[in-house]
Structure 1
Amino acid sequence: MEELAAAAGITVRTLRFYRERGLIPPPRREGRIAWYDGHHLARLRTIAALLERGHTLSGIADLTAAFESGRDAGEALGLVEPSEETPVRLTPEALADHFAGQVTPENLAAALDLGYLAVDGEEIVHISRRLLDVSAALVGEGVPLAAVLAAGREVRSHADALARLFTDLLHTHAPREDVSRLRPLARAVVEAELSLALDRHLAQAHDDGPAAPGAPAPNARQA
């Protein structure tokens, strides 16, 4: 498992998470030894490429199931009918398992304040399967859950502003149109602009390179 994770450029924790979600097939076992091969590595590289293009782990799992069962891949990826966010019911233990011991009282309070979580009897309800999967994947890559939640709060404010912009645009210029038809158009614009922005920022980060110890930031003013 350690060798496969290293070859794929991911952590062992992330690899275990993918296995638990059924995103990669189980290894071939000989006694207590588990053997992974090129098929597993190719699957991990495909997952990485799909994640980079904005697909969620749930969508990738559906796509994998589609290929294995013969269903249409476009339907599995949500290209036929855009799907709404799906809430997830979890036990407290299952929630803790998703985030590797980082479900602290402070993080729980932040998630409840954001509206990501709600309590229903003895269960916890997460507002979105996609947000749950992405958050768990980020934590699996080593990003602290507190930082993920802080980023989520900032993303929420930008998302609200974008949603307001598109709904105002439609109400102003096409008031008779069905507002629900706006969803795929707005999503396409935001995904394209975010992709272009990531290209610019990643290129800039590559050009700047790591700063030498004690050196000022590239844009820092000289005294």
Structure 2
Amino acid sequence: MGVFRTIENFVFGMDCLGCGRSSEALDPWLCPDCVERLKRESLGMSFPAPDVFCLYPMDSLTRRLIHSLKYKSIPGMARFLVRHSSAMPGGVIHQTMESFPRPFFFVPVPLHRARYRERGYNQAEMIARALAELYGGRVCRWLRRRTFRVSQTKLSRDQREMNVAGAFEGALPAELPPRGTVFVVDDVFTTGATTFSCLGALGKGFPLPVKVFTLLYDQPVTASADYAADMQAFYGAF
């Protein structure tokens, strides 16, 4: 076992974040079986809406991983999830991305400063960096968060829309690039309330094509029930 793997196991433990079983073959957080499951889920992903691209469906495995990214101080999980998805060369999303005008500009959904102080980083920006690294694009902080009310997790569609109404504003450069494609990046797409609010903050006359890119898609019909059940299973396993 190499020195870096030894350090990772010391910091994060030797239990798989996916299934909870102990393994000496973590890569670096998942056992081989969970890595293969993650890849299969990405291959079978369907997009929730036109111009919205999600790398994985929300289920017990991906929910645990996104929880680790957001709440367990593992920012490297963003790059790990991107690198095991169909965003990689040969994957469906990668092939679709090749048809969009370049350069690519990845705009992370901004995190409220209170949340940033808690986590020490913005998970959406970690995802944007991983995508920019993969596609040779740029991370652009073209949005600002004006307000933060409550977490979106357990809200209905209408409640989500009200919760983020007016929450964002544009922070655009004095001169926008003349060409390219903009991707608003977030961790989870459920109803689209957050990302669509961000699109509105860019302005109706925004001159570049804009799309949405997230790690996970959580179908809103079962989001609350699945979240409660999986969180109970998550805390019971660790």
What TM-score, normalized by structure 2, do the two folds share? 0.24
Structure with more of its chain in helix, by fraction: 1
Structure with more of its chain in strand, by fraction: 2
Q: Relative contact order, CA 8 A, sep 6+: which one is greater?
A: 2
